[in-house]
Amino acid sequence: MASGAMDVRIRPMRHEDIEAMEPLSARSYFADPHHGRSPLEIAAWVSRTTHLLDTDPGGCWVAEDTSGAIGFAIALEREKMWILASYAVLPGRQGVGIGRMLLSAAMSHGR
């Protein structure tokens, strides 16, 4: 485990995490907390993520350190398919193994 990931804890996602994951995803993908997303687009993201947490809780994971949430992975299983639906780590924390830790937790859902 890289030194930047040593203080990171991977845990199952909870419903109270979801609203914080949307701006985290925008920052991770676009380096902008909302990237011009409308309130409707933000609500749709929250709704989709809530649905996945309700239907596939074993595929939903959060990475956090003492500052709070720094990444997440959301996976689902349908029939014989495992699908990684969303996956993000804050830009300043990328490249130290946090994504690998999240992906490993999410992949355990498909095994």
Buried b (16+ CB within 10 A) or exposed e, 84-105: eebbbbbeebeebbbbebbeeb
* Stated pTM of the model: 0.87
Distance from chain centroid for Cα 83? 13
Please state the rounded mean pLDDT for residues 72-93.
92
pLDDT of residue 38: 83
Percent of the chain with pLDDT over 70: 89
Q: Please give the order of strands across the beta sheet that includes 9-12.
A: 9-12, 60-65, 68-78, 81-89
